[in-house]
Structure 1
């Protein structure tokens, strides 16, 4: 209860000074991470957080489930801008798997002797992108709309695709001795299949019910905000009850519900988006608290080298190479490759891995995540504005763009 009181108080105080802090490039994620370091970090925290409890783990999983749902529904605003483009298929089908492989190989190079399963978990944790740390970039009209569209859709889909792989790799490390590799594969596939079925059923039925209610005027449009808020929690809970993957279920439900939003209006997602941002800030706070425990084992030069290689080589090279020959210009390809900030998805995956893995493995994931996310917040935050100015001076040729999507969120 004390932690909840602190988080809500911090939110209220941040709102009062948010514009002033924005002038110094201090966003809400940075502010909450700093608060986590100051209040809940170290050996004698002011506000203690027990991260080993089942409630805490479920809470973090719900954070990611709600974010995956909103990511899936928000893609509707940007998808028309890339219709007919081969870029998105290449980003998700080529660049993403190559980036994961390169991140694992980077880990093997920088941390020789580390098990491949642990390196795979590290790659799955640090590669998902999250635009919250540079959210103003998505609202900046100086940036070509199709660049922002590609980043938005990629950010929404890559964590949804990665989540079942993350669960599988973590399970392989912590599995009981009696579980064979085949058992783990079958369990992972079962979880994805069950989750896809549950998410599709809930998303489809909810879409039909909301449309019928809207068309027959059985509910006011404003009330559909509560329906949208309930859906990710319903999909996650129903999937977990039958041993399905709650992340996948929430993401699939969002994909189904996205078309309904076009009918009832984007305002119906305002509440769930606000809740998603609020929950994300709690994850940043937990990350700040955990960061104080990072780097205790040394190896700081190796961790920084890993972070640099992951952010630049493992991300930039596959993205730029996969988009060669597409309708993106060379500067646009470079911008998409460079802007892959790490944030809440990496934090949630890292915390979940930290509380499930044994000691040294947990510390390793915490260290590589802390180094990667902290470096990402720094370099992507610093370079976003110069990049926007460059595009303002060098307009890129492109076809007619649809109406600009409305900005969302407070993060």
Structure 2
């Protein structure tokens, strides 16, 4: 209970000073991760956390499910722009290229490591999490198409990566299962999840629209429906052995259509809950980070972190957007603004719960190094980037970007 009190008290204090701290590029993830390190880290923490693996795993799964739902709804809003903003190139070209490049770089930095484990590591550290630069993505100093491209990419990439992550992780931990059997299980889980998410999302959309038109429900009360849906989709999918993450994401895509017909604040409640859960995850990440880097190889972890933050993302993004209407500064901004965060943290916790020994340590240590560097680098550079674009307005191109 003391951990809950401290977390909520920290949230209250953050709200009071968030605007002032943002001027110094101190973001909420930085604040909560630092608090987790100071208050709940080490062998004798001031605020102890229940770090039971099963509890951690289930809690982080729920956090990711809600985040995927909100990502899907937000990405849908930007996808309604009249002109494409490079989302096809980013998701179909840059994302696979980044995953392949991160895997190859892993083989260079960690020689002798199995390819499937390297693929798991790449899938853990490459998904974007826009939380470290959230204020920037709402800042009108940054060109709209840059914000739209990042939001759509950030909304869809973790939803696309999650089934691949589950499959590769299953291959690493499998004992005697054939490749065909693993593929079959992964496909069944994804198909079941897509069906569950589609059915629930479609029925929820119809029910909400009907209740609103008939006058049976107040628009304000329908915010609770948006909050309940990701939990429903996740739990229903798990009950039928489906991928709960995919189900929550698909349900969000369906529900986004009806949410756009409701009041502007119809998704505020689920977005706020998602933000709160994400901050709790950042706090927990800070607490467990103090237990990382105890087995040596620290320079390798941070070397790989630098490579995946810069090379593995920057090169494929710049290459995929070449020849588009994005200006060079805009392409550079999109390539740089690929922060890592809660998605990587959740994936690493799920991997740690199933892997053993050195394999588990590798995933956790690489994730800790990558996320820590990302929070610092992307959080600190967000405000200077916004100031630069404010001083150097970019021309509005009429040519399509996608």
TM bracket, shorter-chain basis: over 0.9
Task: Please tell me whether the aligned partners of residues 306 and 368 of structure 1 are also in contact (alpha carbons under 8 angstroms).
Answer: yes
Q: Which residue of 1 aligns with 2:173?
A: 174
Task: Please tell me whether the aligned partners of residues 110 and 306 of structure 1 are also in contact (alpha carbons under 8 angstroms).
Answer: yes
Q: Which residue of 1 aligns with 2:114?
A: 115
* Cα deviations by residue, 1:124-146 (Å, 9 ceiling, x for unpaired): 01101111111111121111100
Q: Which residue of 1 aligns with 2:55?
A: 55
* CA distance, structure 1, for counterparts of residue 331 and residue 355 of structure 2: 37
Structure 1's unaligned 5+ residue stretches are 401-411
Question: Equivalent of 2:280, from 279, 282, 288?
Answer: 282
Q: Which residue of 2 aligns with 1:382?
A: 380
Q: Which residue of 1 aligns with 2:317?
A: 319
Q: Which residue of 2 aligns with 1:301?
A: 299
Bigger Cα displacement from structure 2, 223-232 vs 258-267: 258-267
Q: Which residue of 1 aligns with 2:266?
A: 268
Instruction: Count residues with an aligned counterpart.
Output: 398
The answer to whether the aligner puts 1:192 opposite 2:190 as a matched pair is: yes
Map 1:332-411; keep pairs closer than 5 Å.
332-398=330-396
* CA distance, structure 2, for counterparts of residue 56 and residue 241 of structure 1: 19
Q: Which residue of 1 aligns with 2:201?
A: 203
State the TM-score, normalized to the length of structure 1. Answer: 0.93
Q: Which residue of 2 aligns with 1:40?
A: 40
Q: Which residue of 1 aligns with 2:224?
A: 226
Report the CA distance between 1:86 and its aligned residue: 6.6
Task: Please tell me whether the aligned partners of residues 25 and 381 of structure 2 are also in contact (alpha carbons under 8 angstroms).
Answer: no
Task: Please tell me whether the aligned partners of residues 65 and 233 of structure 1 are also in contact (alpha carbons under 8 angstroms).
Answer: yes
* Cα deviations by residue, 1:22-63 (Å, 9 ceiling, x for unpaired): 333222211111121122211222333343342331111010
Task: Please tell me whether the aligned partners of residues 125 and 340 of structure 2 are also in contact (alpha carbons under 8 angstroms).
Answer: yes
Report the CA distance between 1:236 and its aligned residue: 0.2
SS at structure 2 position matched to 1:266: coil
* CA distance, structure 1, for counterparts of residue 105 and residue 128 of structure 2: 18
Residue 52 to residue 359, structure 1, CA distance change in 2 (3 Å): farther
The answer to whether the aligner puts 1:22 opposite 2:22 as a matched pair is: yes
Report the CA distance between 1:347 and its aligned residue: 1.0
Q: Which residue of 1 aligns with 2:67?
A: 67
SS at structure 2 position matched to 1:85: coil
Q: Which residue of 1 aligns with 2:142?
A: 143
Bigger Cα displacement from structure 2, 304-313 vs 271-280: 304-313
* CA distance, structure 2, for counterparts of residue 380 and residue 46 of structure 1: 29
Bigger Cα displacement from structure 2, 35-44 vs 19-28: 19-28
Report the CA distance between 1:387 and its aligned residue: 1.7
* CA distance, structure 2, for counterparts of residue 237 and residue 208 of structure 1: 21
Bigger Cα displacement from structure 2, 313-322 vs 354-363: 354-363
Task: Please tell me whether the aligned partners of residues 351 and 366 of structure 1 are also in contact (alpha carbons under 8 angstroms).
Answer: yes
State the TM-score, normalized to the length of structure 2. Answer: 0.95
Bigger Cα displacement from structure 2, 345-354 vs 390-399: 390-399
Task: Please tell me whether the aligned partners of residues 90 and 317 of structure 2 are also in contact (alpha carbons under 8 angstroms).
Answer: yes
* CA distance, structure 2, for counterparts of residue 2 and residue 120 of structure 1: 39
* CA distance, structure 2, for counterparts of residue 52 and residue 178 of structure 1: 28
* CA distance, structure 2, for counterparts of residue 135 and residue 61 of structure 1: 22
Task: Please tell me whether the aligned partners of residues 52 and 355 of structure 1 are also in contact (alpha carbons under 8 angstroms).
Answer: no
Report the CA distance between 1:117 and its aligned residue: 1.3
* CA distance, structure 1, for counterparts of residue 258 and residue 302 of structure 2: 45
Q: Which residue of 2 aligns with 1:159?
A: 158
Q: Which residue of 2 aligns with 1:404?
A: none
Report the CA distance between 1:95 and its aligned residue: 0.4
What RMSD, in angstroms, separates the aligned Cα atoms of the two structures? Answer: 1.5
Report the CA distance between 1:399 and its aligned residue: 5.4
Report the CA distance between 1:161 and its aligned residue: 0.3
Task: Please tell me whether the aligned partners of residues 191 and 244 of structure 1 are also in contact (alpha carbons under 8 angstroms).
Answer: yes
SS at structure 2 position matched to 1:44: coil
Structure 2's unaligned 5+ residue stretches are none
Residue 68 to residue 296, structure 1, CA distance change in 2 (3 Å): same
* Cα deviations by residue, 1:231-259 (Å, 9 ceiling, x for unpaired): 00000000000000000000000000111
